[in-house]
Amino acid sequence: MRRTTPLLLTVAVAALIGTASAQSSWTCPEGFAGQTLSVYNWSTYIAEDTIANFEELCGVRVIYDTYATDDDMLVRLRQGNPGFDVVVPSDVVATLMIAEGLVEELDHSLIPNLANVDPTFLDLPFDPGNRYTVPYQWGTTGIGYNAERVGEVTSWQEFFTHDGPVAWLADTTQMIGVALLLTGHDPNSSDPAAIEEAKRFLIEHGRNVVYIAGDDGQEMLLRGEVEMVVEYSGDIFQIMDECECDTFGYVIPEEGANFWVDNLAIPRGAPNKALAHAFIDYVLDPHVGADISNYTAYGTPNRVALEMGLIDEELASDPGIYPTEETRERLFFAVQDEEREALLNEAWDEIRIFVGQ
């Protein structure tokens, strides 16, 4: 779900990005020259040249705005679309947007590159038939840690019993989902009693939380201000890449973790739906998709990009980015609705009174 400004890339990844971009054979449909597209995405959750290349290929201008969390994006669109053509909601927020009629139905005939997507990421419960969304990037939410200070970390239990400074993620669904899991409940439970127990667990185990991070927990880890963080996978791999050291690690905890998919969607009232479809198809080109995943260090849903070997080998072979089948069995997919959202938000508001202040 993401996430933050990507840091310095290795020479190998940078070289691959340049190669992949040069080989892309995507052709822009005719008739868009001189038009404008407005994209609203997570903070720098895209390769450096993705937008510039699309502008050149189509002869268009792209207005690119960013947000720190997709809750911020959801709040803004609930007030009325100010002119965005493409947004990038997580699976949880996409569920709400679909239910509330905040996204347009897609015309798959205008997105032929949808055929490049691995079936694993299609027809998921939040959007059967991908009527409203197509996969963009995916990853897990786990623990980033400073191995020099805490050694090897393997579990949520180690995280929540740690005495040193830690940071949590400002993601209500993720944090309460983990607490539900650790208190013996379904991480997607809507039972008020279970959510109350999860709330108490987080309050009781939050005394050492120095910060609840919107999009910069990994930066606190990098600066040495915390020893462990709950974070999205790619954010931690980005600081590992910048560091070029063995100081930091990322683990999918042995108890289980959230597996998420971020998506491309066209918000209701988009002024240029036709160009938005073209942009979505462009992103699903295997070379373009590989550029993005190599830059952000998140998983690509693009099966063809993987089959063509376009994903940097070091990233493709890392089980923290592309988990093994054994690890995937421990992952859970978040499920949300408006009633559960209200329960979680109420619990989270109370948690924030006691934690991370």
Domain ranges of the chain: 11-138+260-316, 140-259+324-354
Residue 168, helix vs strand vs coil: strand
State pLDDT tens for residues 28-87. Answer: 999 999 999 999 999 879 999 999 999 999 999 999 999 988 889 999 999 999 999 999
- Under the banding of pLDDT at 50, 70 and 90, the label for residue 20 is very low
Please report the DSSP string for 189-243 in residue order: ---HHHHHHHHHHHHHT-TTEEEEESS-HHHHHHHTS-SEEEEEHHHHHHHHHHH
Q: Which pair of structure tokens corresponds to residue 350?
A: 């109370």
Same fold: 11-138+260-316 with 140-259+324-354: yes
Angstrom distance (rounded) from CA 217 to CA 168: 7
**Residue in this structure with the two tokens 């079936």, named with its chain if needed:** 119
**How many Cβ atoms are within 10 Å of 34's Cβ, its own excluded?**
9
pTM for the full predicted model: 0.84
> Largest Cα–Cα distance in the chain?
60
The dihedrals phi and psi of 49, each to the nearest 5 degrees, come to: -110, 5
Sequence-ordered alpha helix ranges (H) in the chain:
11-23, 50-58, 70-78, 91-99, 147-150, 156-160, 172-182, 192-204, 217-223, 233-243, 273-283, 286-296, 303-307, 313-316, 325-328, 338-354
For 11-138+260-316, CATH number?
3.40.190.10
Q: Which pair of structure tokens corresponds to residue 252?
A: 């999918």
**pLDDT for residue 7:** 33
For 140-259+324-354, CATH number?
3.40.190.10
Query: 109-141: b or e for each residue (b if 16 or more CB lie within 10 Å)?
Result: eebebbebbbeebbebebbeebebbbbbbbbbb
State pLDDT tens for residues 152-189. Answer: 999 999 999 999 999 999 889 999 999 999 999 999 99
